[in-house]
Amino acid sequence: MAFSPYNDYWREIRKLCVVHLFNRVQQYRPIQEDEVGRLIGKIFKLSVDSKPVNLSEVMMCFSSTIICRVSFGKRSNRSHCDMGHDLFDEISKVFKENSSGSEGFDWEKGFVNEDDVQGLTYLKAVIKETFRLQPAAPLLVPLETLGKCNIGGYNVPAKTLVFVNSWAIGKNLETWENPEVFSPERFFGCSIDYEGLHNELVPFGAGRRICPGMRMGVATVELALANLFYNFDWEMPIGMNKEDLDFEAIPGITAHKKNALTLIAKKNISD
């Protein structure tokens, strides 16, 4: 769909997907919550073994499994990424055993669910700020003009390939104060949102080709991050400093980290 020109095929497939897939975010809630549980379980196991967590790998596995379950109703065929899931039952057991005493870990209360997330305004601002500074698709998806038009005094012929530099838009000095600084607070009392109504922030594009998976994507990111923060304290491996964190990306339509982010998760079982 993303690479189809604007034609009857695109209209049909987009309508189908919006009705049967994208408008059903609430229906996918159990899948998302189940996968977050598995993600936390996987990280818990690594933290118990004092092993570092390759967040790039576990998050890639997490998001592709959700998309697979939502689209096909089941996980993909077994891959190395699925192996961790076998641990899930075992880890659930460990959690449950630890929650037997009144001071133990309470599996039910160990999760932040989608309702809780709605009240997490700072987390939402952190995610918005991340979309501004590090948009997942820095040049969106190439678009094509339907007819000739004039943009900022330039005549643009029909059928011109257009790249929208969402990455640069998020750093525009005319819109953003100190654009290079990561400051989620900038969104408090600011009406700019990423839902396609504000040209100042377009991580999901805008207009008729806007990302139809936006709500699903945001809900997944919010739920996963809230639970990663709620369940663990995160530390850098010994010998690694803040300055060693890098944001280099591999070239491509979507920005994937060049070097994996590997951190140590610390779980306090009695918290």
Q: Is the dihedral of CA 61, 66, 72, 75 positive or negative?
A: positive
CA distance 174 to 256: 28
Q: Which residues sit opposite 155 in a β-bridge?
A: 150
H helix or E strand, kind and range, residue 17: helix 8-20
Say whether 149 counts as a known binding-site residue: no
Helices (H) and strands (E) counted in the chain, each on its own, are: 8, 9
Which residue in 81, 87, 94, 221 binds ligand HEM (CB under 6 A)?
221
CA distance 83 to 105: 25
Measured from the CB atom, the residue of 172 and 268 that comes closer to ligand HEM is 172
Binding to ligand HEM, residues 1-60 (CB under 6 A) = 1-2, 14
Binding to ligand HEM, residues 64-93 (CB under 6 A) = 67
| Contact status: 219 vs ligand HEM (CB under 6 A) | no
- Contact between residue 42 and residue 89 where contact means Cβ atoms under 8 Å apart: no
CB of 142 to ligand HEM, least distance (A): 8
Measured from the CB atom, the residue of 214 and 269 that comes closer to ligand HEM is 214
Which residue in 128, 176, 203, 231 binds ligand HEM (CB under 6 A)?
203
Binding to ligand HEM, residues 115-144 (CB under 6 A) = 136-137, 140-141, 143
Which residue in 25, 40, 123, 216 binds ligand HEM (CB under 6 A)?
216
Burial-class residue 200 by CB neighbours within 10 Å (0-12, 13-18, 19+): middle
CA distance 242 to 21: 40
Which residue in 212, 219, 229, 261 binds ligand HEM (CB under 6 A)?
212
The residues that touch ligand HEM, with contacts defined as CB under 6 A, are 1-2, 14, 67, 136-137, 140-141, 143, 203-205, 209-213, 216-217, 221
